[in-house]
Amino acid sequence: MADEVLKKARKLVGLMTLEEKASLCSGRNFWETKAVERLGVASFMVTDGPHGLRKQAGEADHLGLNASISATCFPTAAATACSFDPALMRTMGEALAEECLSEKVAIILGPAANIKRSPLCGRNFEYFSEDPLLSGEIAAGLIEGIQSRNVGTSMKHYLANNQEKARVCSDSIVDERALREIYLSGFETAVKKAQPWTLMCSYNKINGTYASDNKRLMSDIPRGEWGFEGAIMTDWGAMNDRVEAIKAGLDLEMPGSSDGNDALIVAAVKDGRLTEEQVDECATRITAIALRTMDNRAMPFSREEHDAIAREVAGESAVLLKKGTALPLSRKAKPAVIGEFAKHPRYQGAGSSKINPTKITCLCDAMDERNIPYTYAQGFIAEGEYDEKLADEALKAASSSDVIIFMAGLPDSYESEGFDRTHMNLPENQNRLMEALIKTGKPIVTVLSTGSAVTLPWRNDVDSILLMYLGGQNSGNAALDLLLGEVNPSGRLAETWPIRIEDTPCHGFFGGKGNVEYRESIYVGYRWYESAGKEVQYPFGHGLSYTTFEYSDLLLSSTVAEDKLDVTVTVMNTGAMAGSEVIQLYVAPPKEGVFRPVRELRAFTKVFLMPGESRTVNLPLTRRAFAWYDVKDKDWRVDGGEYGIQICRSSHEVILEQKVTVRGRKPDEEDESLPSYRNPAANWPASKEEFETILGHRVPEERSLRPFTSNSTLGEVRASFAGRMFYKMIKKNMAKQFSSGGDGADEFTRIIDAMLEDMPIRQLAMMSGGAMTPQVVSGLVEMMNGHYLKGLKKMKN
């Protein structure tokens, strides 16, 4: 944050009353902060992202249900991370910022950089990767692009929010090494490279403390260790204890809960639980953002240009999982296009990131616009059962074609904010239809639209598979560009695609309601699959092309490294088509010492090469590339020994390797008490005793149901008469609020039903429009504990 802005903000805060300072620490309404008009400190607007602008035109909600203004829907993070291209993300970020400016939005809520711990997380479509380096670099590119136009970002959901089930009340039990090496690392990279204006804290507890109250995570690490200069806000309704949150350095509660928490801040200063200087720091950071954006002016943008950017990003992010002889399609081909998604594409996820697109181009639209003849058959109903009539129509269309384009994917009801998937399967009606199409003997090109990894039981029986993930509003044109070879596929998987959910490292320890044990520790994604020797459908970093690339001349700046190492390698396009290649550099540690994955991604770059062209790229490594986090030392540590510098096509395929001796500390003796972590191929999952050893303490006992507190969930308080009545009232009121019908109402039912069960009572204050003050919440809790008169008295005070 610019020194002069911060200096002016401090001066203004020095002129404020305590009540004015406290008021800046909560929102004025759902999307705007409060102003101090007498001093010229203006309110500013924040609104949902992260892959498009979701500014609501009328009633506000944080679930993506009520109407929002029209905006470009860019590809989701699950897709864009596969580009392995931070520069492309910067371009997309600049376009997002232009749309923010056009609507006078100061901060867009994104990017979302949670690690993909399991394929089942319902919000994986909104997250980048299972790898923290890739997550951090892609996030940094997007942040730089947005903030280059003086629009802020809010990197989220900080921290260890890796599931939707019970996200508002679960406790992520994570050992310190995993926290540092996996879950904090991506945020650290983005903060150090791009300085997002804000971070957004998550709902959940981390090792027993709610994120909003956690001074170590809110201040000590980001501000003290990384040099984070911005503000920290809550996710919507994620505030636990406002006084503790001020102490932790959490600046802004969103949305504001009437004026109740502002008054709590003032009272805490007056009775000595807070110092006024602590409030000053929070108010200063919010004032500084107001000052930075006060001169922003609404500006027009070209919808056509942004639609073209969305198309480019989708094309550069798509992953060719399998290539046979059918791709690229010949212009003389007679394709049968089968699948509902060909006309009604699945291009984004559901929830708070749901964009109202400026236009939608499906595959059939794109083919029509380019006068490409084809036969279409719906084949299946996305949200329905197997339909014999539709299947027969599809088989008839296939019989008169010479290639089948099958548009497969997950329907909206399978993945969303608010709930997790229970399996990795595609709908059975799609798999049954695919089996019938395979029997025709025609080559099948499958185009996949999904927010996360799915099981493909027929993957060996089709010609080609093109993965679009959720490719945004212009995914139809982007898919056709790729199918025709007008764009050469260059995306690489940002997550591993396991064969079955039982193969995932956190299986059995994902999706819990109370304590969620991160039993796998650092073995997330490919770090587990490669270390355990587990076969997968497609490995992290996998992706094919219509051309071929060869690598040579892997050179190291030194055979002995201490502080840094420069790595160069030459890559040549040996095929007949221009294309881009992602060069992936992994470091393989010595076998001696502490347990570590067999290899970890430490650098990458993407280059475009014409046929016959070669280029030598430089991939610099710092000492951190060889380090692991030593919990005892509370610092990063490099052990001396021989490391492998590996150039790979994926996390599984090493192309070239050179050894380097790294100077460092003598490795520790092997810990015999950790057999599962030492040898995950032979011993998995780790026992509770092993986990507690690396955790450094016992796993906390689950809290008892009674007495109820403000953190008790609606599902829990139904054990009391007052709780059951309250639950019925809340559900009835919500149903009435979203009773307009249509797709929004259906999404409401799915999301709310999943969330209400695990929603803490205190979070309802966010949705009450100021009716549920802290006093009302306290009174309700007393009544649910059977103290009716005491509860009524508290509610009246």
Residues with a catalytic annotation lie at 235
Phi, psi dihedral angles at 131 (to 5 degrees): -110, 125
d(CA 590, CA 207) in angstroms, rounded, equals 31
Helices (H), 103-216: 132-147, 176-178, 185-194, 215
d(CA 11, CA 95) in angstroms, rounded, equals 34
d(CA 594, CA 678) in angstroms, rounded, equals 8
* CA–CA–CA angle 668, 674, 679 (5° rounding): 95
Phi, psi dihedral angles at 142 (to 5 degrees): -65, -45
Strand-by-strand arrangement of the 375-377 sheet? 319-322, 464-467, 444-449, 403-409, 335-338, 375-377
With beta carbons less than 8 A apart as the criterion, state whether 612 and 569 touch.
no
Write down the number of H helices and E strands in the chain.
Answer: 24, 29
Alpha-carbon distances of 445 from 323, 402, 480, 705, 721, rounded to whole Å = 9, 11, 12, 53, 57
Alpha-carbon distances of 94 from 80, 98, 527, 636, rounded to whole Å = 15, 6, 33, 35
d(CA 747, CA 766) in angstroms, rounded, equals 20
d(CA 129, CA 115) in angstroms, rounded, equals 6
Angle between helices 303-317 and 86-102 (to 10 degrees): 150
With beta carbons less than 8 A apart as the criterion, state whether 153 and 147 touch.
yes
| DSSP character string of 350-397 | SSTT--EES----HHHHHHHTT---EEE--S-TTS---HHHHHHHHHH
Classify 270 in phi/psi space as left (phi over 0), alpha (psi -120 to 50) or beta: alpha
d(CA 281, CA 287) in angstroms, rounded, equals 10
**Chain centroid, CA 379 distance in Å:** 32
d(CA 618, CA 557) in angstroms, rounded, equals 10
Burial (CB count within 10 angstroms: exposed 0-12, middle 13-18, buried 19+), residue 93: buried
The amino acid occupying position 731 is: K
With beta carbons less than 8 A apart as the criterion, state whether 487 and 481 touch.
yes
Burial (CB count within 10 angstroms: exposed 0-12, middle 13-18, buried 19+), residue 271: exposed
Partners of residue 48 on adjacent β-strands:
54, 109
CB atoms within 10 A of CB 384: 12
Classify 538 in phi/psi space as left (phi over 0), alpha (psi -120 to 50) or beta: beta
The amino acid occupying position 30 is: F
CB atoms within 10 A of CB 624: 12
